[in-house]
Every structure is written in C-alpha cells, then in structure tokens.
Amino acid sequence: MHHLVILAAALAAPSVSMVDTASIDTDVAAVVQHEHLPALAMAVVEQGRVVYRHAEGARGDGGRIDEDTLFKIASNSKAMTAALLARLVQQGKLHWDDPVQRYLPDFRMYETWVGGQMQVRDLLIHNSGLGLGAGDLMLWPEPNAFTRADIIAGLAHLKPVSSFRSRYAYDNLMYVVAGEVAAAAGGKPYDHLMREQVFQPLGMSRCQVGAWSVKRVGNVAQPHAWRGDRNSVVNADAAISPDLPSMAAGGIRCSLRDMTRWMQVLLDPALMPDWLDIEQRRTLWTLHMPMPLGERQRRWDSAHFYGYGYGWRVSDMDGQWKVAHTGTLSGMYSSLALLPDRKVGVVMLINGEGEDARTALMQAMLKRFTAAGDARPAMEYLAELKADQAARAATGHQRPDTAGARQASHTELSHWQGRYRDPWLGPASLCPGKDGLRFSVDKSPKLQAAVLQLQGRWLLRWDTLDDEAQAWLRPGEGSAPTLDLRAIDPDIDFSYDFQDLHFTRTGECPGGDRRRR
C-alpha cells in the first residue's frame, strides 16, 4: 500500500518543464481538424511529472471524453502481457527459456521440431517463422466464435514462410499463447492475473480486461470511421464487452490517466521498486529480435538500429534510446513512446481513423526532446506522410475498381458449390442464398459475402466490412474442388491473411446437389 502512496504523491507533484504547451496545443488542434478525429486524449510525462495533458472530443455515445474515458489500446496490450510474464518470472513461477509445452502440452507448430523448441521468450518477439499476421482471421474481425483453444490448435496448420528464429514477422497469435502460458504458470485466468499483478499494484483502476459491463463501467469511447463528411460509430459496444481471445495481444482498454501512470512507473523504478526489479525491466527493453529499419525512420529519427523487445519496439532517435509501441484496431488507434534516459513518455489515444495523426503528432512531440533545434510542426510531418502515400498510389499500388462487379447467380460456379473446410479457419460454404451466390465462414459472422463476377474473375464483397477488405475468390481443381482467397488491395491490413487460407470441398450445400452439374 505504501507504494501507492508514493505513486499518488508523484502524480500530484506540480509540473515544471520547459515544454511549450501552447505549441503542442497548436499541433493537436491542427491535426485533429485535418484528420477529422472525433476525439484525442494525450499526455506527456517528463522527469516523473505530467507536463501536458489533453482530452477533448466525442465519445460516440453522446458524451465527451475526459482523462478517465476508456479507449481500446490494441497492441499496446502486448507490453502489459510481457510485464505480467516478467512478474511471474520474478516470482519464480516460470523462466523465459522454459519450453512452451511445459505449460501447454497440446501446443504444436506446423513443424514438430519448432513446437518443441519454442520457448516462452519466443512468444513475444515475432520470430516464429510464420508470415506477417498469420492466422489473424481467427481473431478479427470481431466478434467471432473462435476460442483460445481453437487458436492454439490452429497454429499447427499454419505453414511457415521462414525458418524458426531467422527473421522478424509481426504476429498476434503468439501473444494469445503467451497469455495462456501466464494463466497456466500463475494458476489463474489471464484477466485475473492482469488485474492482480499489473493493474491493482500500479493503481490503474479504470483499465478493463476479460469480460466487463460497459454500462456499469461507463465512460467508454466508441470507434469511429469517416463516412462522407462526418464520423460515424462503427463496431459499437454491446452491453457486455466479452473476454475476447485476442485479449493478451490487443484486447485491453485503459484511460489516459491509467496510461499516464503506466508510463510513470515504467520510467522511474523508484516509484515501485518491488513491483518489477531492474533485471526484468532491462529484459523487457532489450533488443531481442532485429527489425528492418525503414528509410523514413532513418530520415526522421537519424536511427541506426531497430528491433523488438518483449512487447516493445526498441530503437534510437537522434542518439537517444527510444522504447515504443502502437496499437491499431478498426476505428481505434493508440501510440506510446518512452525516452527512458530522459524519463520522458508520450501517450495518445484516438477513437477514429488516426494512423497518420498519431505518427505525425508523436514525431513532433518526441523531437521537442531529442532534437529541439530540428523540431517541426506536426502538420509538416503529416504532409510528408500524405506525399508518400500519393507517390505510392501513382506507381499503381492501389486496389482495382470493383464498382462494375455484378452479383453471381445461383447457378454460377456450380461445380464448386458446396461445403468447405480450411485446416485452421474451419468450415465454410459456397452456396446459393436469397439474392445469389454466397460465401460464408461458419465461425466468423462478419466473414459473410456476396459472390460477384468482375471481368472473368470472382470477387467476395463482405456484408459488413469496408471495400478495402474485398477478396478475390479463386476456384481450383484437384482430387476435390478447392477455393483460395487473395486480397484485392495491396495495402490491406495484414490481419486479413487471406493468402494463408486453402479450402477443400467436404460436401454438398444444405438441400442437396440440385444446382451442381
């Protein structure tokens, strides 16, 4: 309890900083307006003190956001999962180099040897050999009927694209496994452990994990998408927010006040010396897996190295140590960056289409500390991002126009109509529906599509997903009819890993084979 008193005193300490808050306000206002953000919550910590805070905009339920409004932090959940495992290591309940199968005997990978060699640490650093976002269709779009057990079983059917530990490729499924390892080692469900080992000791009282009542908790931001000339709520919460299988990878929700406390404790071990020792803190922020260093990162940050720690991305920025992560879900964006040697932290939470906004604002904010003489307004960074996107579009990297596609009739693709199964996504159907031919995945209610015909190709237009998620349907021949999917958009979110699917026909559509000839 005395640790919470120390923390509370630190949080209440007066702010003294050279940060020009007026210029930050100018940056925030310009970017929010330009990017049509419904709301943004942002805080800056320097030397243990909150030197800037901003919370303004619409929640999406008629209310306004404040420092206690809950946002989806998406993949910033990964750092919390890593911290939970570090707590269990510190308590002697597991070791980083323990084999995963010690805690989850049924855990398998496509290559048996890899499953046996996979250590707890490997679950956190994206070195499994799987492709980018492999298997994410078992997690998203939400909600769906996949369980954590389904996801772990599905891993055995996902083919690797590189050898184990040879290269970096971002994934989410391994963090689902990591959450179940924590539960097995800690003797309690993942959500219980997260509250007990992280939220309660640190005083992050608004953070939510597992299943919870949206009405009872209240003050919850809803995700938005820009539609025409206004923001509209998308994927609004039901009365109960479920215990999603993706929780350990990206399902936690926290408020700006919670995330500020999180940064303060991470930046100053003296605030909570018994919560996480120096060895475990150092382990979390050690570069364990090299990552490709992009041209823009070199240009903007003068960066020389880039890699993944345990739940964190580690790099250098203008000669200073940087530890950061982002979080992305449909209509929700987060970003958190720390400069540990400066005891500086920045966090922002957005409930709209905020990818470019968070990138530009974070860059402008950190530059104030790493290279004040070179700092530029956030709108200049935003302009560079837009120019890069325009240049990419000019080279032909854009999705094809599908406006002329027509609905496939009940009788088309008659040879391929039937029930199908993919080894990890499970059962699916290519069958006649009320208005024509339909494709649907049994366990994923949002993967339901009309089958369209476009210039000799077959197209899936999902009922409830945006146009950028459309996919080509590719019928194949063999000992039994097969179906493959490919994204039509070269810039599609990597979680739509259609390329990893291969459906084999297993039977007739309900009602028999009258339409198959």
| pLDDT tens readout for residues 198-255 | 999 999 999 999 999 999 999 999 999 999 899 999 999 999 999 999 999 999 999 9
Q: Is the pLDDT of residue 27 over 50?
A: yes
Q: Would you say 495 and 249 are in contact if contact means Cβ atoms under 8 Å apart?
A: no
Query: Do β-strands 212-213 and 71-72 pair in parallel, antiparallel, or remain unpaired?
Result: unpaired
Q: Would you say 156 and 100 are in contact if contact means Cβ atoms under 8 Å apart?
A: no
Identify the band that residue 13 occupies on the pLDDT scale cut at 50, 70 and 90: very low
Identify the band that residue 399 occupies on the pLDDT scale cut at 50, 70 and 90: confident
Handedness of CA 111, 112, 115, 118 (dihedral sign): negative
Query: Do β-strands 306-308 and 289-290 pair in parallel, antiparallel, or remain unpaired?
Result: antiparallel
Identify the band that residue 18 occupies on the pLDDT scale cut at 50, 70 and 90: low
Per-residue exposure over 406-425, b if at least 16 CB sit within 10 Å of its own CB, e if not: eebebebbbebbbbbbbbbb
pLDDT of residue 15: 42
Residue 301 is inside which H or E element, if any? Answer: helix 295-301
- What value does the mean pLDDT of the chain take? 94
pTM for the model stands at: 0.94
pLDDT of residue 8: 42
Query: Do β-strands 437-441 and 212-213 pair in parallel, antiparallel, or remain unpaired?
Result: unpaired
Selection from 114, 116, 119 nearest residue 105 by Cα = 116
Q: Is the pLDDT of residue 397 over 80?
A: no
332 strand-pairing partners: 329
Mean pLDDT of the 25-54 span: 97
Selection from 501, 471, 507, 463 nearest residue 483 by Cα = 501
pLDDT of residue 512: 61
Q: Is the pLDDT of residue 513 over 90?
A: no
Selection from 425, 426, 428 nearest residue 417 by Cα = 428
pLDDT of residue 491: 85
pLDDT of residue 511: 81
Identify the band that residue 36 occupies on the pLDDT scale cut at 50, 70 and 90: very high
Residue 116 is given by DSSP the state H
The CA distance from 354 to 252, in Å, is 18
Place of tokens 């942002």: 42
Selection from 109, 128, 137 nearest residue 494 by Cα = 137
Selection from 408, 398, 344 nearest residue 371 by Cα = 344
Mean pLDDT of the 285-309 span: 97
pLDDT of residue 452: 97
Q: Is the pLDDT of residue 495 over 90?
A: yes
Q: What pLDDT digit, counting tens, does each position of 455-479 carry?
A: 999 999 999 998 889 999 999 977 7
pLDDT of residue 159: 97
pLDDT of residue 267: 97
Q: Exposed, middle or buried: residue 196 (CB in 10 Å: 0-12, 13-18, 19+)?
A: middle
Percent of the chain with pLDDT over 90: 89
